[in-house]
Amino acid sequence: MTTSLEPSDARRWWTLVVVSVATLMVALDATVINIALPRAQLTLHFSNANRQWLITAYALSFGSLLLLGGRLSDLWGRRLTLYMGLGGFALASALGGSANSFAMLVAARAIQGLFGALLAPAALATLTTTFQEPHERAKAFAIYGAVAGSGAAIGLLLGGALTQWASWRWCLFINLFFAAIDIVGVALFVAKGKSEHRPRLDVLGTVLASAGLFFVVYGLSHAVTASWGNDLTWASLLLGAVLLVLFVLWQGRSKFPLLPLRIVTQRTRGGSFIALFITNIGIFGISLFLAYYLQETLGFSPMRTGVAFLPLVGGIALSAFVASARLLAKTGPRPLIPVGMVLGMMGMILFTKLPPNSDYLGHVLPGLVVTGLGLGLIFAPATASATAWIQKRDAGAASALVNTTQQIGGSVGTALLNTIAVSAATREGLALVHRHPPANTAAMKALVTTATLHGYAVAFWWAAGFFALGAVVTFFMLESGVPVSGEIPAI
């Protein structure tokens, strides 16, 4: 038995640092580019219609290849996969930062997503196989959950600082520093973690899963730029759903499945996946609508907008460290995740009251704090429970499913809540014009602001509804009691 001073124990916690840095790099890159978009657009001269592709290219390659990336980490070993993911992500970031054309920047973002799909599951699988003792595992996943849950907000802050004080290109170049530090950390602290069973890759399963996820993510992304009534949107979603159903059917017959179905049959694990999916639908309202509200309605600069999100980060860190790290090993996920969902719902309801000229302290800060406290109670326990009791040979696949669930949930939230907000704002704007025709430009501007805030409020109510649904579902699906350590039996 080791003591807290022995090298093996210290190595585990340094492994957590390495994993957290890799996770932060992938998580913040989903939002850091958002702040840089206006400046990049001026430099590379691309249209408003095309700028969505800088986000979509990353989401498509990242979301569609996650399951494959997770299985490859099982086959190749954690350390080799981390090396490849970090190196490829850094090179893609360097390509994007030096881009001299829109096509070059889009290609770099797609390559980032590809290597991110290799890196993210390997990082989480490394954490899963490193920490097995319940109390240590709870603390480790509390830290990991705080980092992963704060990634989007940190990306907004970092993107604002780099764009305002340096150049939009540094929103991509910064990844070279993260990757360089982490490559050294992997060499020093991460074990190889290669599967002893050496199964072959499920080629048909890979094609079905990757193609299915691609069309689902594309359909949801297309709904943002087009509409839910667009034929291509529904054709892509339908094709993706059919391919994913075929994938699940094939996994039950494949000798070397890409995603062993035993991973999702355990009750608490299934509830944890649902929790992560629903939470990532609801959390979209925070990162998008609040960013627009702070900049367009309250007139915040990009840097000030990023700073304004810090209470959200603080709330996540506080609840993840204090509550999750201390309570998860004693109570299990059931008391924590439903309470976190309720807090998330309350935060969304607070955001429905945003007026056109509010003060930040009185109307924005309370919602950020309450929501952050709730997210910290969800992310850490749900991620830990989704990967607990797992066989080491399946750690990569289970970790990939965690990331896939979050990616699809975020894509659903992006498409659904954005469509709801725009539709509600349009209806409200037409109604206001009919009731009170604007007499001048100032009156028209006030009318547009009122209609926009109404759209945000409706979207926040929907997000609150998702959190409420999550509270009910997780309360009945998750199990109470002290989590049992050890691997699940093979099925």
Q: Are 391 and 488 in contact (CB under 8 A)?
A: yes
Estimate to the nearest angstrom the gap between the alpha carbon of 215 and the chain centroid: 19
Could you report the per-residue pLDDT of 60-113, keeping only the tens digit for each?
898 899 889 988 888 888 899 999 999 999 999 999 999 999 999 999 999 999
Work out the pLDDT band at 48, boundaries 50, 70, 90: low
| Helix/strand/coil for 300 | coil
pLDDT at 194 over 60: no
State the pLDDT at residue 6.
Answer: 41
Predicted TM-score (pTM) above 0.95: no
pLDDT at 403 over 80: yes
User: CA-CA distances (angstroms) from residue 217 to 103, 214, 240, 441?
Assistant: 21, 5, 8, 40
Comparing CA positions, the residue from 70, 81, 113, 120 lying closest to residue 95 is 113
pLDDT at 409 over 70: yes
Helix, strand, coil percentages, rounded to 5, for the chain = 80, 0, 20
User: CA-CA distances (angstroms) from residue 263 to 251, 474, 479?
Assistant: 11, 18, 16
Q: Mean pLDDT throughout 380-386?
A: 87
Q: Are 53 and 179 in contact (CB under 8 A)?
A: no
Q: Token pair for residue 386?
A: 């989704």
State the pLDDT at residue 119.
Answer: 93
| 228/294 Cα distance (integer angstroms) | 27
Comparing CA positions, the residue from 59, 29, 53 lying closest to residue 411 is 59
Query: Phi and psi for 226 in degrees, rounded to 5?
Result: -105, -100
Q: Are 159 and 34 in contact (CB under 8 A)?
A: yes
Q: Are 307 and 164 in contact (CB under 8 A)?
A: no
Of the ranges 34-38, 304-308, 315-319, 336-340, the best mean pLDDT one: 336-340
